[in-house]
Structure formats: C-alpha cells, structure tokens
Amino acid sequence: MHRTGELYGQFETLEQQKETAALGMWVFLVTEVLFFGGMFLTYTINRRAFSTAFGIGSNTLDIKLGAGNTVVLILSSLTMAMAVWSAQVGKKKLVSIFLIATLGLGTVFLGVKAIEYKQKFDHHLIPGRSFDMKYHPAHPMPGDDLEELDKEKQDVDKAFAVDPDINAHGQLYFSLYFGMTGLHALHMIIGAGLLLWLIKASFAGRFTPQYNTPVEVVGLYWHFVDIVWIYLFPLLYLIDRHR
Amino acid sequence: MSEHIVSPKIYLVIFASLMLGTGITVWAAFQDFGKFNIVIALVIATIKATLVVLYFMHARYSPRRTQMVIVCSVFWLAIMLALTLTDYDTRSPRETRLAPSAVSHLLRA
C-alpha cells in the first residue's frame, strides 16, 4: 500500500507530520556530520604532522577534474532543490525530469571519480607495496604535460630531501584521500539508489503538493553529501597549490 | 501555519553564489597567502555550506526545533575538533610526532 499523505493518528496536523519526517532526517544527518567530522579531524592532524608529503600528494590530484566535479555536484543540488519545488507546486512531469537530471549529474560525478582513481592506479599512488611517489615523474604516460611532470619531479626530489620517509607519509595522504572520497562516493551511490526509487514513484505520479515528503527528505540527504564535497574539494585538492 | 515554498529564483541565486564561491576558492588557492590559504579555503567552504543548509535544505524556513538540531550538530563537531586539536597543539613537537611515526614504521616497505 502506498502512502498518499493521509494524516496518521499520532500527529495533530499534516504540517506537523511533514516536519517530523524532516526532523528525523536531520537527526540522521547529525550523526553523519560527526562521522565525517572524525575523518576530517584525522586528516587535519596528519596533514599538520606531515605537511611536505601531504602537499606533494595533494598536488598530484587533477584540479580540473576536481573543480569540474564540484560544479557538477552543486548543479545536481540545484536540480534536486527544483525537484522538491516541482512537487510542492504540483508539476508532476517536472518532478521526474529534475530527479532524472539529478541522477544523471550524480552518475557523471562518480564517472569522473572513477577516471581519477584509475590515474592513481596507473601512477603507482595506491597505498601498498608498489606505492612510489617517484614513479610517475620518471615514467610519463601518453597525454602527460611533460613540462608539468618535470616540475612535479623537482618537487618530489625537493620533498625527499626534506622528508626521507615521504613514501610512507605519502601513503597516509592517499589512504585518507581514498578513504574520504570513497566514503563520499558510497554516499553518492546510496543517494543514486534512493533517486531511482523516487523516479519510479514520480512516474506513477505519487508526488503532489499534499504528499512530497520522500522527495524533500532524500533532498536533505543529497544536499548533505554535496556539503561534504564542498569541504573535501579544497582540503584534498587545493591545499598546497600556492607553493 | 502552512508550508513555505522556496521559489526557483532564490535557488538560482544560491546556485550562482555557490559557483562564484567555487571560482574564488580555486583562484585563491593559487595565490600565496602563507598561513592564511587554509583559513581562506575553509571560510569560503563554510559560507557555501551555510548557503546550502539555509536555502537548499530549507533550514531558514524550518521550525525552531529543527534549527536547534542543526546548531547542535555543529556544536558537537566543534567540541570534537577543538578539544582534539588543543590536545595536539599543547604537546611538545616530539610527542606530537610520536604516534604517526609509529605508523610510518609499519608503512615503510
């Protein structure tokens, strides 16, 4: 049986019923804030202890892909917000269109993330036995900007002089990079699953001005995942570009 | 009390502000502000996050009860960050490195 927005016995008004659902999602998001907060804290402490290795690690990330993904994700938040608005004003077709747009943009984000991860595999920057920060500057790949790579080589050599354990400390950076972006990506995948469920329900025309709580609540979750990325992007990609 | 509907116009203005913030943060990252690069990056990120919470997530139009839950989450996060970082900051440099160095032994191939 589908819910259609009828008033349940424990609530006084429909308004109260809706607010309670949103409040429940917010309470879940509080636990998420502290969950991600622990990872940001770990990152901050290690970054302060091993700033040389973290700077080199951060500068190997592709800023164009990172910034592009930021734009894609914020755009997906806009389409999500528009899906909520469409449901509130009763434009049933627009709800489906905006939900599909959100899912599409989320998928683009994950695809770009996969490209970035693949690069790190190719460049021997996955924590483990074959991790080597000197590997990529010494082994150019097709399509690499050789001038940029030469600068990277000089930076890595300089960093080795400052911190001889740079391959160990660099692995800390990349462990945190994959841990944090991986956890963020997992949240995106869960969000994509929720969107599929919403899209199916929106095709059946179930979201109306009277009943749109699922769109609103999944929207809260989606925007939260966006906020996590708003912090991840500068902290992981941008921290040492000025040197 | 009826539901507050945020208009698409406001959403577009917020979206434009978020894009502007992203542009500024990328630009600022390439300027050398010394110690303040990280501060600037975090301030811009926090402004962007606040805009998302207030408008995209409707916090501005939510009941006080919901707003209190949001403020609480920031408060508890601040406790976790502040107390832990205070602890690390008030130790001698040698001690600060103690725990991570133990890790680097494990990681060294």
Chain A closest CA to B66's CA: distance in Å?
6
pTM: 0.91
Record: contact B29-A231, CB cut-off 8 A: no
Please write the tens of the pLDDT for every residue from A197-239.
999 999 999 999 989 999 999 999 999 999 999 999 999 999 8
Helix ranges restricted to H, chain A? 14-49, 51-59, 63-88, 92-122, 135-138, 146-162, 166-203, 213-232
List CB contacts (< 8 A) between A88 and chain B: 3, 5
Residue B14 or residue A239, greater confidence: B14
| Predicted local confidence at residue A163, as pLDDT | 86
Contact A209, A90 (CB under 8 A): yes
The residue ranking higher by pLDDT, A5 or A163, is: A163
CA distance A49 to chain B (A): 7
- Residues A185, A225 contacting (CB under 8 angstroms): no
Mean pLDDT score of chain B, rounded to an integer? Answer: 86
- CB A89, CB A208: distance < 8 Å: no
How do residues A140-167 score in pLDDT, each as one tens digit?
Answer: 888 888 888 888 899 899 988 888 889 9
When pLDDT is cut at 50, 70 and 90, the band that residue B98 belongs to is: very low
B25·A234 Cβ contact <8 A = yes
8 Å CB contact of B45 and A223: no
CA dihedral of residues A69, A74, A79, A84 (deg, nearest 10):
140
pLDDT band at A242; cut points 50, 70, 90? confident
How far is CA A174 from each of CA A124, A126, B11, B76, rounded to the nearest angstrom? 11, 7, 36, 28
Question: What residue in B sits closest to A34 (Cα-Cα)?
Answer: B77
Residue B100 above 70 pLDDT? no
A165-204 pLDDT tens trace: 899 999 999 999 999 999 999 999 999 999 999 999 999 9
What 8-state DSSP symbol labels residue B61?
Answer: G
Residue A174 contacts residue A126 (beta carbons within 8 Å): yes
pLDDT of residue A2 exceeding 90, the answer is no
**Mutation for testing the A interface, residue in B55, B61, B107 having most A CBs under 10 Å:** B107
Q: Number of C-alpha atoms within 13 angstroms, CB side, residue B81?
A: 16
As a whole number of angstroms, the distance between CA A96 and CA A52 comes to: 48
DSSP single-letter state for residue B33:
-
Say how far apart CA B80 and CA A238 lie, in whole Å: 24
Q: Is A6 helix (H, G, I), strand (E, B) or coil?
A: coil
The verdict on a CB contact (< 8 Å) between B96 and A168 is no
Domain boundaries, chain B: 1-62, 63-109
Phi, psi of A124 (to 5 degrees): 60, 40
Give A206's DSSP letter.
-
Q: Do B37 and A242 touch (CB under 8 A)?
A: yes
ipTM of the complex: 0.92
pLDDT at A98 over 70: yes
Which position has the higher pLDDT, B104 or A70? A70
Q: What mean pLDDT, rounded, does chain A reach?
A: 94
Instruction: Please compute, for residue A15, the number of CA atoms within 13 A of its CA located in the half-sphere on the CB side.
Output: 8
Across B56-76, average pLDDT: 95
Q: Span A52-237: which CATH code? A: 1.20.120.80
Which residue of chain B has the CA closest to A209?
B3
CA distances from A218 to A106, A153, A223, B64, B79 (A): 14, 45, 9, 21, 28
The mean pLDDT of A27-38, rounded to a whole number, is 97
B50 touches chain A (CB under 8 A): no
